[in-house]
Amino acid sequence: MNAASDKSTALRYDWQRAEIDKLFTLPFADLMFAAQQVHRAHFDPNQVQVSTLLSIKTGRCPEDCAYCPQSVRFDTGLESEELLPLAAVIASARQAKQNGSSRFCMGAAWRSPKDKDIDRVIEMVTAVKAEGLETCLTLGMLTKPQAQRLQAAGLDYYNHNLDTSPEFYPEIISTRTYQDRRDTLAHVRDAGMHVCCGGILGMGESRDDRLGLLQELANQQPHPESVPINMLVRVEGTPLAEAQAFDAIEFVRTIAVARILMPQSHVRLSAGREGMSEEMQALCFLAGANSIFYGEKLLTTPNPATDRDRHLFAKLGIHAQ
């Protein structure tokens, strides 16, 4: 307990799994208290950053990520869409800003974009920034020159999740390696952009895998500025459609440990909120989550309506950033 408290303002990049495990196994009240201490040392505890995520190119992804309804390998009934026209992206960005979002994230179901794709995406980044919003992209793997081009265009954040531990990763994905993901993150960081990087809970991983994911995230130097923690959304037709429901308290513990390990990062309560009770979300905010996605859809999976989030924020005394 004291060890966690003493580190409330420290930044470390050398966490060992045994240390992270000690945090996970603290009594729940002690872990929440430690996380709150860290959170309050760096953030307004009653402020949550709000983003909106739009799928700008949907479906027909050649990868085999076992959780993803956009893979061409799985029959999920998803209708694919080509890259959205610029006008549609601008209209969505304007609506997002009107709803209170400060960051607009755009995702495309590519394994890795072609250079001609980057040309069109840069137009979207420029247009969204002109609306007064921060920008984020998730397009798959990037080359170093592509990352440099996106940074030069003014992109604020690039999302590329590690998903799980290095050990469990081959059970979920075979079409790209863990090192491929690390390489893209390095290209993004070297180009001077902010990193958005997190993972997914509830894919059948062990607690040790969750420790491994958090170790990988927390030992990046600097830490990812944004850390999305996703609850698996079980989609019919994907290999993980019948995965066992994930324990709510274990999810909250993961949020709390992420907050302690990465004191200055925005920890985003991300996919899966549609299936979370208000009480579970409130515990996540208490554990140090301070970012969410607004809007009824996250790429292709459901998300709480904006009005529901506003109602919950009002009940908890939270204001959006």
> What are the tens digits of pLDDT across the range 24-33?
999 999 999 9
- Could you read off the pLDDT of 132-144 as tens digits, one per residue? 999 999 999 999 9
- Give the pLDDT band (50/70/90) at residue 202: very high
- Catalytic residue at 268? yes
Q: Is this structure's pTM higher than 0.75?
A: yes
- Give the pLDDT band (50/70/90) at residue 3: very low
- Annotate 169-237 with DSSP letters as a single string: GGGT-SSS-HHHHHHHHHHHHHHTPEEE--EEE-SS--HHHHHHHHHHHHTSSSPPSEEEEEEP---TT
Is the pLDDT confidence value at 2 over 90?
no
Candidates 65, 176, 197, 273; catalytic one: 65
Q: 4 or 130: which carries more pLDDT confidence? A: 130
Burial of 146 (0-12, 13-18, 19+ CB in 10 A): buried
- Give the pLDDT band (50/70/90) at residue 303: low
Is the link from the previous residue into 222 a cis peptide, with omega within 30 of 0?
yes
Cα of first residue to Cα of last residue in the chain, in angstroms, is 31
The number of C-alpha atoms within 13 Å of 186 and in the hemisphere containing its C-beta is 6
- Please name the residues in contact with 224: beta carbons below 8 A apart, sequence gap of 6 or more: 195, 196, 197, 198, 217, 262, 265
- Could you read off the pLDDT of 105-149 as tens digits, one per residue? 999 888 888 898 999 999 999 999 999 999 999 999 999 999 999
What single-letter DSSP state applies at residue 67? T
CB–CB of 136/88 below 8 Å? no
What mean pLDDT comes out for the span 224-229?
96
**What backbone phi and psi angles, to 5 degrees, belong to 226?**
-130, 130
Q: Give residue 4's pLDDT.
A: 44
CB neighbours of residue 209 within 10 Å: 20
- Give the pLDDT band (50/70/90) at residue 199: very high
Q: 114 or 81: which carries more pLDDT confidence? A: 114
- Catalytic residue at 197? no
The amino acid at residue 127 is: A
Candidates 210, 234, 259, 268; catalytic one: 268
- Catalytic residue at 65? yes
Candidates 136, 149, 176, 181; catalytic one: 136
- Give the pLDDT band (50/70/90) at residue 300: low
Strand ranges for the chain from DSSP E: 47-57, 103-108, 134-138, 157-159, 194-196, 199-201, 226-231, 266-269, 291-294, 297-298, 301-302, 319-320
Average pLDDT, the chain: 90
Is the pLDDT confidence value at 90 over 90?
yes
Candidates 181, 196, 197, 234; catalytic one: 196
What is the spatial distance between Cα 262 and Cα 282, in angstroms, rounded to a whole number?
20
Is the pLDDT confidence value at 98 over 60?
yes
Candidates 60, 73, 103, 105; catalytic one: 105
